[in-house]
């Protein structure tokens, strides 16, 4: 009887240890959430057909992200700071070294109400590779963005022909900040550029006069706002950005351009 009780006790202890080990293993996962956003463009629509996204970890293992949905996304729905969740994945602690984006064939651009096919170069069938480095820590969530520059990605070839050569930058929430503000009058719809050294990030204020530039590295920037209605531009200096924070430059007012 004593031996049987000791055996039962041993089995119970081993079972509890296995649960602890399993829980610890689960805790060592990091969750990566991948979002899609867009830099503004002058087109009516820019539609890209997203089929697969892969993440390479530690320069070796490539894992496929479980997408919320595959298919066509109109990039212009995600400008002015808007985004959409593409998908998420749990990964072990380590370092992301690359993201691979695979597009389908249903890519198009709408110009003045007319839809044109966007032809993707034949060499990109295996996917667009984006080098990106992010350390993943166990038990933490990481938000990453694919910032698809629609304006620079669409190439007009003449005769109503267009091609798609994706220009994408990646950034993470934990390692970058943002710049936001308001313009008056909102009808100015200015282009907004944040410049540091040779690097430039930009957006266009929306119809409510709001603007937001995400994925801005730490540093001190010059911000220029160029209205589209003939008003004089405004330049802001010494705009400081800190990672993980949003710098608000307040309301920028435009005067009437001199005759």
Task: In whole angstroms, give the CA distance from residue 54 to residue 99.
Answer: 6
- Structural domains of the chain, count: 2
Range of the domain at 110: 28-174
Instruction: Verify that 43 and 148 share a domain, yes or no.
Output: yes
User: Residue 7: which residues within 8 A CB-CB, separation 6 or more?
Assistant: none
- Residue 230 in tokens: 């003939």
Query: Look-up: residue for tokens 């119809």?
Result: 207
For residues 27 and 139, is the Cβ–Cβ distance under 8 A?
A: yes
pLDDT, tens only, 115-170: 999 988 765 668 899 999 889 988 889 999 999 988 889 999 888 899 999 999 99
Instruction: Verify that 86 and 153 share a domain, yes or no.
Output: yes
Instruction: Verify that 231 and 242 share a domain, yes or no.
Output: yes
Q: In CATH, what number is assigned to the domain containing residue 242?
A: 2.60.40.1120
Instruction: Verify that 243 and 192 share a domain, yes or no.
Output: yes
Instruction: Verify that 88 and 112 share a domain, yes or no.
Output: yes
Question: Is 60 inside a domain boundary?
Answer: yes
CA distance readout (Å), 13 to 9, 20, 25? 6, 11, 18
The average confidence (pLDDT) of the chain is 86
Percent of the chain with pLDDT strictly greater than 90: 59
Supply φ then ψ for residue 227, to 5 degrees: -65, 155
Domain end point (choices 158, 174, 190): 174
Q: Report residue 82's pLDDT band, with 50, 70 and 90 as the boundaries.
A: confident
Q: 64-89 as b/e, with b when 16 or more CB fall inside 10 Å?
A: ebebeeeeebbbbebbbbebeebbbb
> Does the pLDDT at position 7 exceed 60?
no
> Does the pLDDT at position 250 exceed 70?
yes
Radius of gyration of the chain (CA): 24
Instruction: Verify that 153 and 189 share a domain, yes or no.
Output: no
Task: In whole angstroms, give the CA distance from residue 76 to residue 43.
Answer: 8
Domain end point (choices 153, 174, 195): 174
> Within 10 Å of residue 168's Cβ, how many Cβ atoms?
19
Between residues 166 and 22, the one the model is more confident about: 166
Instruction: Verify that 70 and 50 share a domain, yes or no.
Output: yes
Question: Is 207 inside a domain boundary?
Answer: yes
Instruction: Verify that 184 and 121 share a domain, yes or no.
Output: no
Question: Is 138 inside a domain boundary?
Answer: yes
Instruction: Verify that 254 and 141 share a domain, yes or no.
Output: no
Question: Is 134 inside a domain boundary?
Answer: yes
Question: Is 212 inside a domain boundary?
Answer: yes
User: Residue 21: which residues within 8 A CB-CB, separation 6 or more?
Assistant: none
pLDDT, tens only, 192-219: 999 999 988 988 899 999 999 999 999 9
């Amino acid at each position: 009887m004593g031996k049987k009780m000791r055996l039962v006790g041993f089995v119970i202890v081993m079972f509890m240890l296995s649960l602890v080990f399993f829980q610890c293993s689960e805790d060592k996962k990091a969750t990566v959430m991948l979002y899609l956003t867009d830099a503004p463009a002058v087109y009516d629509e820019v539609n890209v057909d997203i089929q697969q996204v892969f993440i390479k970890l530690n320069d070796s293992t490539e894992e496929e992200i479980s997408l919320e949905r595959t298919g066509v996304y109109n990039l212009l729905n995600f400008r002015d700071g808007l985004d959409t969740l593409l998908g998420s994945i749990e990964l072990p602690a380590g370092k992301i070294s690359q993201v691979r984006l695979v597009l389908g064939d249903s890519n198009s651009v709408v110009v003045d109400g007319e839809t044109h096919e966007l032809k993707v170069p034949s060499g990109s069938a295996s996917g667009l590779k984006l080098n990106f480095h992010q350390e993943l820590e166990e038990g933490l969530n990481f938000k990453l963005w694919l910032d698809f520059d629609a304006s620079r990605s669409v190439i007009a070839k003449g005769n109503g022909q267009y091609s798609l050569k994706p220009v994408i930058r990646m950034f993470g929430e934990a390692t970058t900040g943002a710049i936001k503000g308001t313009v008056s009058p909102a009808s100015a719809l200015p282009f907004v550029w944040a410049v540091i050294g040779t690097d430039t990030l930009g957006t266009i204020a929306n119809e409510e006069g709001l603007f937001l530039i995400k994925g801005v590295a730490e540093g001190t920037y010059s911000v220029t706002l160029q209205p589209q209605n003939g008003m004089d531009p405004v330049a802001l200096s010494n705009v400081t950005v800190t990672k993980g924070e949003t710098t608000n430059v307040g309301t920028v007012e435009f005067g009437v351009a001199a005759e």
